[in-house]
A and B are shown apart, each in its own frame.
Chain A
Amino acid sequence: MSDTSGQGIPAPEGPADLIETEYQIGQDNISTRIGPFGLDIHNPVFAISGLAIIAFVLVTLAFQEGAGTMFNDLRVWLTSTFDWFFLLSANIFVLLCLFLIVSPYGKVRIGGKDATPDYSYSGWFAMLFAAGMGIGLMFYGVSEPISHFSSSFAENAGTPESWAPLAGAPGNETEARHLGMAATIFHWGLHPWAIYAVVALALALFSYNKGLPLTMRSVFYPIFGERVWGWTGHIIDTLAVFATLFGLATSLGFGAEQANAGLNHIFGIPVSDVSKVVLIVAITGVALLSVVAGLDAGVKRLSEINMVLAALLLAFVLIVGPTLAIITGFFTNLWEYARYLPELSNPFGRADDNFRQGWTSFYWAWWISWSPFVGMFIARVSRGRTVREFIICVLIIPSVVSVFWMTTFGGTAISQIVNDGYQAVADAPLELKLFAMLEALPLQTITSFIAIVLVIVFFVTSSDSGSLVIDTITAGGKVDAPVPQRVFWASFEGLVAIALLLGGGLGALQAMAVSTGFPFTIVLLLACFAILKGLHSEPR
């Protein structure tokens, strides 16, 4: 048999600037069998990640109160002390993305000059949106605009006790509404998507154009050189697995609580541990089917179904809600967002500590802790796009969709409170605000049912894409590792969620997951440098 190794051939996908490294993808992997199942795992990232996650869960379960206090204090300390750092960094990410759109680097094509896109616009957009923030829009689309509107309108707005953005607009209903919507859109618009775009672009560039494995460590090659294949890289990858799994598992746990509350509200299904565990098992079960069906037949198809359902719900609320007000509100909110953006994104010399640290800084840490997962997933499905196309589609379009979504759901809810005096939506707990808003519209049983299905399917699409990402990282960047591995990670995530739900500690470990946003902010800043350096050497 001929020797097939060592025949380095120039990239036939067109000119690209490959990084020459001695490292062979998979060289640190262990290929073995456990019983009937084949394994192809990175040594030591797989084992360290798995064991550390189990250890953290056990410690949290054993010392619930202490762990809860410690992780929450850590999270609050980080987001309060380093609020300026989070705000400043997120601004840098937005500016970098905007620069890339207009700069000559925008012509660089991910995957080489002659690469063609792997996915159509609709499939691509559905996947990146479903993985990125779908579920959050369901819960915060109604509640957050109401919160900011209420705090801005309140008499104490502008005082140190207030949670209003900036100085608020005490007693001024129109201005409070504008500020409330602008502040909400600020948290769901350009900044979060810029965070995802930076991670995704860095990964896509260093994988598809530079030929490095699709794992977080590859982004650091320009900084650490060959050391990224050693412990420096092991730590980066393990941290990424850690943030992703805990982020997903705790969201799944809380999601089950919220979905249970919704089902109880609509169908009277009792709120109990059994119901929640059944929900987690069901969501994990569907996610398992999806990962086993693969990226095209599973993840992409579910994401597309999700998009259709979300669009239907959006169209329904638009049509039966205050249609004209929503359409004009969309443009007004876009303008108000642009008007307030410099003030809201200013990291220094502000008086709104509660809002800046409790909302914005927390959100930025949260998005950043999710960015390894969402970024890696977006990177995987973005081959063949130019950098300009990529940034426009990952930054601008989702931001505009978020504005429209927030205007439709949040704007309708505020109108219900202000114009119709409908207090139920203001009084409802967070997880029920969406349903309370839908109840004031026609066909509420059908729309509430669609909403609950959307909530569940959004969890599935996060769970399945997250499992694929963790599997790739723990397989050293190989995307063709045996299928039982991804089954393991999807199941493991469900089990961690159940353990934390029953034993307590969901909040504690979610706080810890959000805390990983701090080290990852530094990682992302380095990634910005790596992107510019990497793009500079690419043929345009």
Chain B
Amino acid sequence: MYRKIMVPVDLAHADKLALALDTAANLAKLYGAPVTYVGVTAATPGPLGHNPGEYEQKLKAFAAAQGETHGIQTDARMVVTHDPAVDLDDALVKTVHETASDLVVMATHIPNVADHFWPSNGGRVATHTDASVFLVRG
């Protein structure tokens, strides 16, 4: 049913992604679909690396570990933006198109009043792509 699954990940908060990662892995096994883990970062040094190169290596290692743990086909894609706090949605939408993913599995928070000011990431991805979006409450 699904050919390609995309999972946005924030490696700095990987501990909060367990449910979404398991869900994505189960769906991948069910449909025999490969999973692309997507990380969005800035070029400035951050908690996960001195530069985008280091970040990408960690993301690749993370994707490989997921593949090994769940027995699924995985790869990783890093997106570098100038202002990740704001550019995240656009980066995800672009990557859905570039990877031709037809299912996006992402962790989400409990909706609150802030969503009226800053639309949820999942909502934006669903609005601007043809992919199905599976939001997983962590």
Residues of A within 8 A of B (CB): 1-2, 4, 7-13, 16, 18, 24-27, 35-38, 111-112, 118, 207-208, 210-214, 292-298, 380-381, 383, 477-484, 486
Contacts and interface: CB of A to CB of B under 8 A. Distances in A.
Nearest to B59: A4
A230 B138 CA distance: 34
A9 B83 contact: no
Contacts of A214: 44-45
A294 B83 contact: yes
A7 B58 contact: yes
Contacts of A25: 45-47
Interface in B36-92: 41-54, 56-58, 61-62, 64-66, 69, 82-87
Given A35-B113, A295-B82, 18 more contacts: A1-B17, A1-B18, A1-B21, A2-B62, A4-B58, A4-B61, A4-B62, A9-B54, A11-B51, A12-B57, A111-B43, A118-B82, A211-B45, A213-B44, A295-B86, A298-B86, A477-B44, A479-B84
Nearest to B64: A2
Interface of B: 11-12, 14-15, 17-18, 21, 41-54, 56-58, 61-62, 64-66, 69, 82-87, 112-115, 118
Contacts of B48: 4
B87 A296 contact: yes
B52 A13 contact: yes
Contacts of B65: 1-2
Nearest to B63: A2
A480 B54 contact: no
A108 to B, nearest CB: 15
Nearest to B65: A2
B46 A9 contact: no
A483 B57 contact: no
B114 A26 contact: no
Contacts of A9: 49, 53-54, 57-58
A112 B51 contact: yes
A112 B45 CA distance: 13
Given A295-B82, A479-B44, A211 B14 contact: no
* Consensus secondary structure, chain B interface: helix
A208 B80 CA distance: 14
Contact of A295 (B54, B61, B83, B112): B83
B85 A293 contact: no
A2 B66 contact: yes
A204 to B, nearest CB: 10
B118 to A, nearest CB: 6
Contacts of A37: 114
A212 B49 CA distance: 10
A486 B47 CA distance: 20
Nearest to B80: A118
B59 to A, nearest CB: 8
A488 to B, nearest CB: 13
B49 to A, nearest CB: 8
Contacts of A112: 51
29 contacts: A1-B69, A2-B62, A4-B48, A4-B58, A7-B61, A8-B54, A9-B54, A9-B57, A9-B58, A11-B50, A11-B54, A12-B54, A35-B112, A35-B113, A36-B114, A37-B114, A112-B51, A208-B43, A211-B45, A294-B82, A294-B83, A294-B85, A295-B82, A380-B44, A477-B44, A480-B41, A480-B84, A482-B85, A486-B85
A202 B42 CA distance: 19
A213 B118 CA distance: 27
Contacts of A7: 57-58, 61
A113 B44 CA distance: 16
Contacts of A10: 53
B43 A12 contact: no
Counting chain A CB atoms within 10 Å of each CB, the highest count among B11, B61, B66 belongs to B61
Given A13-B53, A112-B51, A294-B87, A477 B45 contact: yes
A16 B87 CA distance: 27
Nearest to B18: A1
A519 B21 CA distance: 50
A208 B87 contact: no
Contacts of A24: 47
B57 A480 contact: no
Given A9-B54, A18-B50, A211-B50, A480 B85 contact: yes
Contacts of A296: 82-83, 87
B51 A13 contact: yes
Contacts of A478: 46-47
B51 A208 contact: yes
A380 B82 CA distance: 9
